[in-house]
Amino acid sequence: MIKVRDLTFAYEPGLPVFQHFDWTVDQGQAWAILGPSGCGKTTFLYLLAGLLTPTAGSVRIDDEPLERPRPRTGLILQDFGLLPWGTVEENASLGWTIRSFYGPDERHAPAGEPIGDSASRVHPWLQRLGLYSLRHHYPSQLSGGQRQRTAIARTLSLEPDLLLMDEPFAALDAPTRESLQDTILDLRDERLLTTIVVTHTIEEAAILGKHILVLGTPPNEGGRVIHNETSGTPGFRGSPAYHATCDTLRQSLERKP
């Protein structure tokens, strides 16, 4: 589904964050990208989201070169990215509002898809994520977990096939974080979503990634990949396999200079 080929990216000439980087993701895979601060993991996610353009090389999604944000890619960020002046419902419908603003022009919205009534697409998500009774509230009146669930509803109501997340639960307390991680696991299995989560915490990478790409100090010329196939199975959070993955990841991070 995603093919990164010979990717080089630099914010400043001569200081590449990625150099000749290759990576492949198949449809339906669950990836986590782990690395210390400043390793370029957020940059990498923005490249996959089409928010940054490679200096050289290419990112292809479904064999299409990626030149701008793709309508079928959902993005969830740590600081939620909600409009302070929009209610929960307005925020959750924002993707549809933007699509009807442009019309189905293939550039901002998938072509040939009727936009129709956004409420019928957004309300089921608000109900499922426990936000329906809060739909007239503003983000400032919500808890962190409720804000992030609003951002999730906004993204998923657009029916993405690829979900990109940047430290999505880092600002939340532990119980909220775990409950939202479980929500993501459920949705992944139910919708056959391809998910890529960027995180700096070993535990989150082990929970959300069946494959974990470990990045180091830039320039990254190809990260280390750790496989973690039993992730997402019931009771994984307390299992020996989980602890083993965490140990492997810890060692892997320590080995990087």
Which residues are near other proteins by CB under 8 A? 46, 49, 51, 69, 71, 73-86, 94-95, 97-99, 101-102, 107-109, 138, 140-141, 151, 154-155, 158
CB of 99 to other proteins, least distance (A): 6
Q: Is 5 or 108 the residue whose CB approaches other proteins more closely?
A: 108
Complex with other proteins: residue 71 or 223, whichever CB lies closer: 71
Q: Which is closer to other proteins, CB of 69 or CB of 130?
A: 69
Residue 42 CB, nearest approach to other proteins (Å): 10
Secondary element (H or E) of residue 97: helix 94-102
Q: Is residue 26 a contact partner of residue 1, using CB atoms and an 8 Å limit?
A: yes
Q: Provide, rounded to whole angstroms, the least separation between the CB of residue 81 and other proteins.
A: 3
Q: How far is the CB of 179 from other proteins (least distance, A)?
A: 22
Residue closest to 129 by CA, chosen among 105, 94, 154, 107: 154
At 159 the three-state DSSP class reads coil
- Nearest CB to other proteins, comparing residues 75 and 214: 75
Q: Which of 88/226 has CB closer to other proteins?
A: 88
User: Degrees (nearest 5) of the Cα angle 157, 162, 167?
Assistant: 90
Minimum gap (Å) between residue 138 Cβ and other proteins: 5
Under 8 Å between Cβ of 165 and 197: yes
Tokens of 95: 């993707």
The candidate with the shortest Cα–Cα distance to 156, out of 113, 127, 178, is 127
Task: Give the residue among 106, 189, 116 at the shortest CA–CA distance from 157.
Answer: 116
How is residue 193 written in tokens? 């979503």
